[in-house]
Amino acid sequence: MMGPAFSQVLQRFLQSPLVLLGGLIVLVIIGAIIIMFVGVLILLLPAIILAGVVWWLTRSEFLAGVAFLLVALIALVKR
């Protein structure tokens, strides 16, 4: 078990402005990464759906990959 002295040191450390600022920066970076990831998924959603349909109809991973790449390229150029 940790004694009361360690608890007081930990509380003082966590109240430090630099620790709070560092934690805020880390949370902002994590949030930005999540937002970018969701944006990419939304951008590629039509390509993913079409590739799934092509694979379901043909059972060919190659044709599904080609369909995905073509639709993703069109989506990127269109944007």
Per-residue pLDDT tens over the stretch 14-72? 777 777 788 889 999 999 999 999 999 999 999 999 999 999 999 999 999 999 999 99
How many structural domains does the chain have? 1
Its domain, for residue 62, covers 4-78
Spatial distance between the Cα atoms of 30 and 14, rounded to a whole number of angstroms: 20
- pTM score, two decimals? 0.63
Spatial separation of the C-alpha atoms in residues 55 and 76, rounded to whole Å:
22
Alpha-carbon distance 18 to 44, whole Å?
39
